[in-house]
Amino acid sequence: MHPVDLLTLAFAILPTGTWGQVVGTPYGFASGVTGGGSATPAVPSSITQLKEWLADDTARVIMIDKTFNFIGSEGTVTEPGCRLNTGTCTALNGGQDTIKTGDCDANEVRITVTYDKASYLGMDVGSNKSLVGKGSAGVLNGKGLRFKAGAKNVIIQNIHITNLNPQYVWGGDAISLSGNDGVWIDHVKLSKTGRQHFVSHYDASRVTISNTEFDGVTSYSHSCNSDHYWTIIVGGTGDKITFDRNYIHDVSGRAPKIGSSSGTQLVQAVNNYFYSGTGHNFDISSSGHVLIESNYFDSCVTPLTSGSNGKIFNTASTSVEGNCASVLGRNCGVNYLSSNTGRMTSLTDSTVLSELGNYKSQLVAPLGYGKVVSTVTANAGIGKIGN
């Protein structure tokens, strides 16, 4: 038999899932994460089995090689909700109604809402998991991921989470964390959510989000302009987050919002491509300690809100890039703002540099803004890695 035929036969008889190991190595604040490790990759036979495998704490490599459709799987809920009755941005004009059983606000009227129950609340995720998609086929349609409090050592790679009651505020979060030590979210696509594409809240989480597409295109926009408003919230007390080489586009707010009422959130935001932001990108409250470097902003109205008052170091001009050298051992990467992007004042609070200086081995090197767009568009999202 010809050697090529032997190779073909060998691949044909490999057990299901051999394509499924994680590609690459966790880095940044997710350094050391192993996920399911060397567990034998396995493909769940149903959405029920997928939920069971994700929720336990057994080390697993879970492979997604098709669309798992959760829409309708848990029925629907009909209950009171609210609708804006002032201005032009209502659900009748491309906006969102709100799932809310409590009193409506003064500018809202009571309505009845019906939403998909499966989409409203994500699947529980336990410790020691790798959830990996094959090619562009791995889709969770109508169900997000809700990490169990205290779950740790998890890798999510090359999957698309979409269609979470996008017509309703509070309709569903794509990825929700709370006190999770060691999470790598890589080459993921998030779209058409009712609420957050990503949220970290309550207790501290240690996370890297990389090569991920935050797609804000929607028919149900809180700002009534076909752009998603509820994008990213980082609010866990003591969060440490690396945000690298992500594509954030067609959004109108919270892209990202960093800060909470207690603790601190330490973030390195580096090498990201922000495109078509019709509202605000970074909105950082006093608890947010954030280094913003080597990012590319194109057609973004407000790259950083004027009210941001955290410990912020951002390089909006070359005059301050050298300020990082004495602490980080290198210059900071300059951010690029296109001619049709709003201005961003350079803020040079050295507090965040001193804090990140304690984690030099986990910091990501700036690509330089000239390489960001080509690198990010070639790699962010699903179907762009070799599995």
Residue (of 232, 209, 211, 230) closest to 221 by Cα position: 230
Question: Contact 190/212 with Cβ under 8 angstroms?
Answer: yes
Distances (CA, A) of 181 to 32, 154, 202, 372: 11, 9, 13, 29
CA-CA distance, 314 to 321, in Å (whole number)? 9
Question: Contact 132/62 with Cβ under 8 angstroms?
Answer: yes
Please identify which of the residues 83, 245, 254, 343 carries the catalytic annotation: 254
Residue (of 118, 121, 133) closest to 47 by Cα position: 118
The tokens of 122 are what?
């994500």
Please report which helix (H) or strand (E) contains residue 122, including its range.
none
Question: Contact 92/66 with Cβ under 8 angstroms?
Answer: no
CA-CA distance, 91 to 85, in Å (whole number)? 9
Paired with 193 in beta bridges are 164
Could you tell me how many residues make up the chain? 387
CA-CA distance, 290 to 162, in Å (whole number)? 29
Question: Contact 142/166 with Cβ under 8 angstroms?
Answer: no
386 CB neighbour count, 10 Å cutoff: 8
Is 254 catalytic? The answer is: yes
- Cα 282 to chain centroid distance, Å, stands at 14
Q: Which residues are catalytic?
A: 254
